[in-house]
Structure 1
Amino acid sequence: MAETKREIERKYEATGGTELPDLTRVPGVASVVDDGVMELDAVYHDTPDLRLAADGVTLRRRTGGSDAGWHVKFPVAAGIRDEIRAPLSDTLPDALAGLLRSRVRAADVVPAVHLHSSRDVRRLLAPDGTLLAELSVDTVHAESLLGGGEASWTEIEVELADDTDDETILDAIEKRLKKADIAPSNAPSKLARALEETGAAPRPPTTPGKPGTAGAAVLGYVREQIEAIVALDPAVRRDLPDAVHQLRVACRRLRSAFKTYRAVLDRDVTDPLGEELKWLAGELGAARDQEVLTERLRAALDEVPKTLRLGPVRARLRIWTAARAADARRRAVDALDSDRHLALLEALDALLADPPLRKAARRDAPKVLSRAVLKDHDRLAGRVDDALALDPGHERDLALHAARKAAKRARYAADAARPTLGKPAKKLAKRVKAVQSLLGEHQDAVVARATLRELAIQAHAAGESAFTWGLLHGREEAAAAEQERELPAVWARASAPGIRAALSR
């Protein structure tokens, strides 16, 4: 069984002769307990081309110390990583292998670095004996197992105590260390330093295309989305908050970029990839849509006075949610485990390695990107006009949903162009996002009404009152009508001539 630990730590340069200052002078530290020296032996594993290290991910098998076993570490922010642990075994546990699948794929996982550390540990305690942080002086010897050399160094590591994310004590310790001329380390991890000093560090990725051209601009954005898809795969498997939503967004952004910038990238290559991205987003969608709808209905029930909540409405909603949530999550993980998903990731890598650039890719980025953004904005204008021309009802609901999709595409187009077009693209993206949000609320109300009708039918069949479900249905109808009334004004701000003119300059 794997367990997760949030690791918040800072590293500092040291030598064998570095002397630590008196750490009891750090505010909040009452005593320092010396736990002695422990010997740690770890073999870091990776693919032969170091895919994990290139993404800042580490996989190690450690013996010695209190946490012997297999560890995978994912970067969260500077100095913060999530460590997932599994018991010591001869082979990589399946629970960890799945988390690495989007990066490793069909490649072998082999020993890459052997690292031995002599760790001199000190516990920093508060006046009541509570552990605040651990400071260790590590004497490290690293040996590359992929044809590199060897290296040795000494470093100081300060790690925040478990179950807290308040870095105040780390700031105070750092201040004290700096006064003793102990400087922060430039290496984010022992593995990164070992690879660098043994001459085996992975090469950073490069974006094809001449700087300043449309090809370079579009491929830079495409690379960002592909990297997000790869990185969010293990986050979905870990069931992290908002992970499914963010992975769907990355799929949609990439698919949208293929459509918007078809003058730059050949459709014969990108259209099939777009269909596969649509499939993946659809498989993930069941989990995300279920999550959003459940939150909406729970919030709606909370707003209903107790005197109007007739029957076991909360229990019925829990039953309805539980029956669908497990299936939705299983569907999402099955998609990530599929050969089809791996084939998509390989195809996306191939696109970056040999991009299908068209003639427009060699032109200056501002002109090509602004034309593409304005074209998507024109498409959105047509969808909004079509929807507003219809009478309220089912057909208008469908037209507004189509306009919502067009708004997403126009917004994503502007977001992709922001590094090139600057403030005009940023302003357009913000205005179009307001349109998208309004239309998203409208579509959520439409979907909620269908679900509320289903819940009312189930309640009635079970001999329960359907009154509360009908009440919520009416509220959703009123909310959708209000959003339709607001749309012309919101759209007017997003279609102001000045915004379009700024993009055309």
Structure 2
Amino acid sequence: MAETKREIERKYESDDSGLPDLTRVGGVANVLDKGVVELDATYHDTADERLARSSITLRRRTGGSDAGWHLKFPVSTGVRDEIQAPLSDTLPEELAALVRSRVRDAELIPVVRLRSARDLRHLVDADGTLLAEVSVDAVRAERLTEGGGTAQWTEIEVELADGVETTLLDKIEKRLRKAGVRPSDSPSKLARALAETAPAKKKARRGPKKPKAPVTAGDHVLAYVRAQRDAIVELDPAVRQDVEDSVHRMRVATRRMRSTFRSFRKVLDRTVTDRLGVELKWLAAELGLDRDREVLTEHLTAALDEVPAELVSGPVHERLQLWASASHGGARSRLIGVLDSRRYLTLLDDLDAVVATPPLLEAAAGKPEKVIAKAVRNDFAKVSDLVEQGMEVPPGHDRDLALHDARKKAKRTRYAAETATPALGDPAAALTRSMKSLQSLLGDHQDSVMARQTLRELSAVAHAAGESAFTYGLLYGREERRAAAVEEELPGVWREIKGGAPV
């Protein structure tokens, strides 16, 4: 079973002078010599080093106290999340799944072997509590793919113990710098090994190619599309691990990209993007199966908690929780199946292709102030029509549908304005905020519609079981008032939004 831990460390160049005295640095009372440990690690990647390009490391290591498989994802500079699995001859499937969005159908092969003699020390406080591990590592690197070479170097690594404030690292670094020790130019041993053992013709091309600053309308649209593609790929492991809010964020990325394809049909050829839009809609729907029920459960639970105890008639809490958990396990298994499916992996490949060889139309070469602004204005005009039509429809089912359509269009306009902001500046940013506010207000209305539908269903089940339906009716009435309050507020909000120029 894999375990996850957060690794906070810094690396430094080392020479023959070794470590300076670190006692009395940031509460360090003693430096304990833990001896020399021999480590032997084989790093795996695709032949074109897809994991390394994303600063992800996957290794099988023997020696030391944590022998096994280690998969590391970058969080920020010097911070990585490490997933560990027991030592085995083959890569554990649970780790293979976590890199699938990057690897796809490519084979994971051994690319580098690192053998390190680790001279380890523990920094402890006056009570003997571990504050940090400091090691001087003599590293020998060997590239295992054709044409590779070897390299060796010595480095100092400082890793913070769990729960210790990162200010200790700053104080240790100050002491190391004073002694002439400088931070490493490489973020990891693997990065340095790949750079120093690469065939000569590849060394100059080391590292990901940075995209150029956007200039044309097409540049700006593609920058936004690329960001959403990256978000989907990067969130895949978090969704598989059921990290909080990861499903929602991945779903938002799919919606942003789909909306961008629809808003900027004058920039990107819809004969290509329409098909991808269908697939993105499918993925968003799969991601939302469990999420929508979770959000609705939280809302109804909070509403029920506000009801005085004497007005709660029957096992309402229990029935609500039963409804909430009815499909969670099945939905979770289904979602993992989706992420492992050929359809999903093909979608990722197709999104890569759009970013790499974008289907640009003639307007893509135009000025963003003209092309992008026009697209945003068109979206805003559609929002305007839908909001005003919705306010004219009498309260009831038809108004609910009209306001729901307006909410979806407001969301699309918000994403278009987000795309436009780097090019158009404050006016687009202001429209983004306005559309977010409108989307939130209309979202409250739609949440009320869905809550009332669920309450009707729960009431019918309770009645059939011989239970009182009183509390469900009470909650239903409150949801009706909630929707009415939104409908009363909407005209004023809309007048304020419409009073400002879109872009």
Which bracket does the TM-score occupy, shorter chain normalised? over 0.9
Please tell me the residue identity of whatever aligns with 2:4: T
Structure 2 counterparts to residues 110-125 of structure 1, below 5 A: 110-125=109-124
> Residue in 1 aligned with 2:125?
126
- The one-character-per-residue Cα deviations of 1:262-307 (angstroms, maximum 9, x if unpaired) are 1111000000000000000001111211221121122222222223
Change (3 A) 1:172 1:392: same
Cα-to-partner distance string for 1:439-497 (whole Å, 9 max, x where unaligned): 11111111111112222222223333322222222211111111111112222232224
Q: Is the contact between residue 264 and residue 360 of structure 1 (CA under 8 Å) also seen in structure 2?
A: yes
Contact 1:74/1:82 (8 A) holds in 2:
yes
Instruction: Give 1:204's match in structure 2, choosing from 194, 205, 208.
Output: 208
Residue 158 in 1 paired to residue 162 in 2? no
> Offset of 1:430 from its aligned partner?
0.7
Q: Aligned ranges for residues 174-323 of structure 1 at < 5 Å?
A: 174-199=173-198, 202-205=206-209, 207=211, 211-323=214-326
Correspondence for 1:12: 12
User: Would the alpha carbon gap of residues 24 and 468 (structure 1) be closer, same or farther in structure 2, given more than 3 Å must change?
Assistant: farther
Pair 1:483-2:486 in alignment: yes
CA gap of 1:480–1:40, structure 2 versus 1, over 3 A, is same
The one-letter amino acid paired with 2:151 is A
1:89 aligns with 2:88: yes
The equivalent residue for 1:407 is 410
Return the alpha-carbon distance in structure 2 between the equivalents of residues 137 and 44 of structure 1: 21
Q: 8 Å contact 2:6–2:82 — kept in the other structure? A: yes
- Aligned residue for 1:59, secondary structure, equals strand
Q: CA deviation at 1:402?
A: 0.5
Change (3 A) 1:62 1:487: same
**SS of alignment partner, residue 250 of structure 2:** helix
- The residue type paired with residue 191 of structure 1 is L
Which of the residues 433, 444, 461 maps onto 2:464?
Answer: 461
- Change in Cα spacing, 1:181 to 1:495, as seen in structure 2 (3 Å) is farther
* Counterparts in 2 of 1:392 and 1:28: CA distance versus 1, 3 Å: same
Distance 1:472 1:21 in 2: 68
Is residue 335 from structure 1 mapped to residue 346 from structure 2 by the alignment? no
1:338 is displaced (CA, Å) by 0.9
1:173/1:405 CA distance change after superposition, 3 Å: same
Matches of 1:269 and 1:9, distance apart in 2: 45
Correspondence for 1:3? 3
Tell me, yes or no, if the aligned pair for 2:214 and 2:223 is still in contact at 8 Å.
no
Aligned position for 1:26: 25
Per the TM alignment, residue 176 of structure 1 is displaced from its structure 2 partner at its CA by 2.4
Q: Percent identity?
A: 61
Gaps of 5+ in 2: none
Q: Secondary structure at the match of 1:48?
A: coil
Specify the alignment match of 2:135 in structure 1.
Answer: 136
Change (3 A) 1:436 1:165: farther
Query: Does structure 2 conserve the Cα–Cα contact (< 8 Å) formed by 1:5 and 1:84?
Result: yes
Partners of 2:375 and 2:120 in 1: CA distance: 58
Distance 1:445 1:353 in 2: 43
| Residues paired across the two proteins, number | 497
1:494 maps to which of 484, 493, 497: 497
Provide the C-alpha distance between the structure 1 equivalents of 2:154 and 2:347, rounded to a whole number of angstroms.
43
Secondary structure (helix, strand or coil) at the match of 2:487 reads helix
CA gap of 1:315–1:129, structure 2 versus 1, over 3 A, is farther
The runs of at least 4 aligned residues of structure 1 exceeding 3 Å deviation read 199-203, 205-208
Partner-residue secondary structure (3-state), 1:488: helix
SS in 2 for 1:184: coil
Q: Structure 1 residues 34 and 404 mapped into 2: Cα distance closer, same or farther (>3 Å)? A: same
CA distance in 2, matches of 1:165, 1:339: 44
Residues in 2 aligned to 1:129 and 1:458: alpha-carbon distance in whole angstroms:
60
With over 3 angstroms needed to count, the CA separation of the structure-2 counterparts of 1:496 and 1:101, relative to structure 1, is same
CA distance in 1 between partners of 2:473 and 2:28 (Å): 60
How far residue 429 of structure 1 moved from its aligned partner, in angstroms, is 0.3
Letter in 2 for 1:93: P
Q: 2:104·2:345 contact (CA, 8 Å) conserved in 1?
A: yes
Q: CA deviation at 1:206?
A: 5.4
- Tell me the residue number matched to 2:429: 426
| Distance across 1 between alignment mates of 2:308 and 2:125 | 48
Q: Which residue of 1 aligns with 2:52?
A: 53
Q: Report how far residue 158 of structure 1 moved.
A: 1.5
- Give the SS at the match of 1:11: strand
Residue 294 of structure 1 contacts residue 321 of structure 1 at CA under 8 Å; is this kept in 2? Answer: yes
Q: 1:485 to 1:160 in 2, by over 3 A?
A: same
Secondary structure at the counterpart of residue 495 of structure 1: helix
State the partner residue of 1:364.
367
Q: Is the 8 A contact 1:244 1:287 kept in 2?
A: no
Q: How far apart, CA to CA, are the structure 2 residues paired with 1:301 and 1:21?
A: 62
Q: Counterparts of 2:54 and 2:498 in 1: how far apart (Å)?
A: 40
8 A Cα contact 2:18 2:136, kept in partner: no
What's the CA shift string for 1:63-113, capped at 9, x where partnerless?
111111111111112221111111111111111111111111111111111
* 1:151 to partner: Cα distance: 2.1
Q: Please give the root-mean-square deviation of Cα atoms over the aligned residues, in Å.
A: 1.7
The 1:108–1:25 alpha-carbon spacing in structure 2 relative to 1, beyond 3 Å, is: same
SS of equivalent to 1:22 = coil
- List per-residue Cα deviations over 1:152-189 (Å, max 9, x = no partner): 22222221213x26323223322322332322223222
